[in-house]
Chains A and B, each alone.
Chain A
């Protein structure tokens, strides 16, 4: 396996030269250097291994065992039906297949003044100054070789810019489809979101696949939330069970800003989500919600880091997991409170239900606190459905299977109810209901 690891690593480093040629001077010196340094860094670090503390519970080797190719150009045609299940009404929609933008499947309505929603590849040409200011400024690749790999190759993805005092009318819906029909594919979605002062935006990010061979998605997201801005972001991960999904997100919040992130994971063989939230200003508010329901041999690893750098901020985290089959769930939530961050309130909770004898939960909620006037707490639990509640339902004449389904749905609902985009909430509720395996 070690060899295959290196094989893929060498191949990706080698191919960078070809990739670079395609840019042909169309990009500024700044980005060319950035990418070169990033690939160099990846070449040095290689893929993470379980010997690293942050990858202790997640072995990524199965994901690096395939000989992935980048997307072919032009991409294979994809029918509208492939994305039909994921469509939501009244959104500004961008569809990508293996990281390549699909104008035919996308639908971008008329946007508020000066708001920008466009593929990143175009933004590099049309808004170089904005990109220079923000791209790779929040997502530092030094600490993560996969972020470095993405930084080197990133061109598929979305650039969203909401000017000061602007409220985005429609939620922006990004659909990332992986298409493994003609072989193993690797893609590097990269989203950059800049929310100006007093702006508001809602984002929905759907990751799905068409099936075929195993694919590897190595995504990086950067979000800057300026003063008093309000960003809500919903990540829905439902790729098929062969795929691998790694997602690093870096959010920087300025003072008095608000950010809420939902991560719902039901797909992929291995999913790894890293949310890094830095609260650079005082008076910030951050909410992180997570829901994962896995079966068979699936593996999900949710890492969150909330870094309270300034005073008077509030963060709240709720992650819930339902583990079936031989699946493994990992939760590593870290709250960091720096010395200046007095009057911080930080809460974190991770609750898990194990449905099968062979499922595993590894939880590691961490607190690292250097300020004294704070209120921080975390809790983690693992268990089964409450017997008393089950008994109560059964005593009301509900059969045991349905009672269990009802309680499982209720367990998941605690996360879903915070979703503010109604059609998405509906969609996910139905999906969870289906998963409980009974007719509602």
Chain B
């Protein structure tokens, strides 16, 4: 075995660091999906009639749809009747301070390395911790309330701000959008709701830690962020999940609405259980994320670091409707072992003088497949649209695949659209250069990969950038192409 192979194998064998389960009592709905399930969930959450109706419409539409087959991923068929559609930690007492939190849940977060208190003190991050489907702890609410920012769980928003939810839910991702969006609309359990009033710059980074905990429970998060005129918000989302053998389905929907002159920055670090080194288990991550720049000069920026999940199927998109609006997408996707990722973005240019920028870095190792799939569409009326896309793939090992499927649809002559993609391995000359300067091979690779992803990592908020760099370091230690 050559040195290279050895290092590669070492890398391939590194097991999922965050695999464990916490024993919290759970209320589990028996498996299966029917109108009753939808009614049960809605009743459980004490939802108004219109929302139940909407869920039911979504459910009936979902029944007419078939699972999409076009992504370049392979997995055994999912039995949607073999999933429990609702789970929540039993304890439902309202909490005023972190000390009231279930010690089990707290230790779970501590194991994950995200002590709430510390984060509370660090850069002032309000954490809306979602354990399975129900919000358990929310902090900094008062500080936010002062500014008029609403940041709460979706269920609370439905109770306390029904008019805002009703107006915006499904406005960016209608339940007719796709198979998984319809499923989510029918059975979504909870999620985060965020409303930034006009002219407010949200005083802190908002973050939610998602975590799939109960075995056999599909998790259907629904996130809605509305930024009114002239406001700014940065939202962070990070995920880790315990090690499980059976595949778990996760079909979330995220909707962003950016009004005139507002800016939404949405960052994700996704590190769900990717399955073991034989490709057994792992999360199926089929997510619909979309934002709309409704007003002029609005800006939406997606940043994602995807290292987890057995299968990722995710295309954070921006509809550039307002004139001079801007859409950005920065992504690092790492796949290893038997992981499959089909991810990318859609930039739909409708308004005039709109701009979009796509930077996608794929790294595949082991026997994984990593695809970039993106659409840039310049509509007939989008005068002076500008797009730049860069999709780079790095291959480590000769068993993996890297693919690029960009779609460019240009219908206006004033548009300037540029797309470029490259695929290569880490250059021997670059490696040699580092080593020749006394840096060992492993550190050189880490250095090069970090440099390779820097453009994306730079766009993450500081706390996340640290976590993301750690994640990359863990996954790519010592892997040489």
Contacts and interface: CB of A to CB of B under 8 A. Distances in A.
B472 to A, nearest CB: 19
Given A377-B421, A380-B406, A382-B378, 9 more contacts: A352-B410, A354-B412, A354-B413, A357-B413, A366-B406, A372-B481, A380-B408, A382-B408, A384-B416
A325 B129 CA distance: 56
Interface string B313-330: 000000000000000000
5 contacts: A362-B409, A370-B400, A375-B422, A376-B424, A378-B421
Contact of A359 (B395, B402, B413, B481): B413
A363 B411 CA distance: 11
B425 interface: yes
Contacts of A358: 380, 411
Nearest to A342: B398
B395 A374 contact: yes
Contacts of B417: 380-383
A360 B410 contact: yes
Given A368-B401, A370-B401, A382-B416, A377 B409 contact: no
B70 A375 contact: no
Interface in A334-359: 339, 342, 352, 354-359
B404 interface: yes
Contact of A379 (B398, B414, B420): B420
B406 A368 contact: no
A364 B413 contact: no
B399 A373 contact: no
A367 interface: yes
B405 A383 contact: no
A365 interface: yes
A362 B481 contact: no
Majority SS at the chain A contact face: strand
B407 A367 contact: no
A63 interface: no
A371 interface: yes
A366 B416 contact: no
A53 interface: yes
A236 interface: no
A377 B408 contact: no
B104 to A, nearest CB: 44
B423 interface: yes
A370 B72 CA distance: 13
Interface in B364-421: 378, 380, 393, 395-421
B413 A372 contact: no
B401 A381 contact: no
Nearest to A356: B413
A398 interface: no
A369 interface: yes
Interface residues of A, number: 35
Contact of A361 (B398, B408, B420): B408
Contacts of B380: 357-358
B70 to A, nearest CB: 7
Interface residues of B, number: 36
Contacts of A355: 413
B405 A366 contact: yes
Given A364-B405, A364-B408, A383-B415, A373 B398 contact: yes
Nearest to B481: A372
Contacts of A357: 380, 412-413
Count chain B CB atoms within 10 A of each CB in A372, A374, A378, A383 and give the residue with the most: A372
Nearest to A372: B395
Contact of A354 (B404, B415, B424): B415
A88 to B, nearest CB: 35
- Give me the 8 closest cross-chain CB pairs, A-B, nearest first: A354-B413, A372-B395, A363-B408, A379-B420, A377-B422, A367-B404, A361-B410, A383-B416
Nearest to B372: A367
Contacts of A374: 395, 423-425
B8 to A, nearest CB: 10
Contacts of B402: 367, 369
A358 B411 CA distance: 7
A377 B423 contact: yes
B423 A369 contact: yes
Contacts of B422: 375-377
A344 B15 CA distance: 33
A384 B413 contact: yes
Interface string B89-121: 000000000000000000000000000000000
Contacts of A375: 422-424
A372 B396 contact: yes
Contacts of B398: 339, 342, 371-373
B389 to A, nearest CB: 9
Count chain A CB atoms within 10 A of each CB in B393, B403, B423 and give the residue with the most: B423
Contacts of A379: 418-421
Contacts of B400: 370, 372
Contact of A373 (B404, B406, B414, B425): B425
Contacts of B378: 382
A378 B424 CA distance: 12
A268 B148 CA distance: 62
A356 B399 CA distance: 46
Nearest to B418: A381
A356 B405 CA distance: 27
A374 B397 CA distance: 12
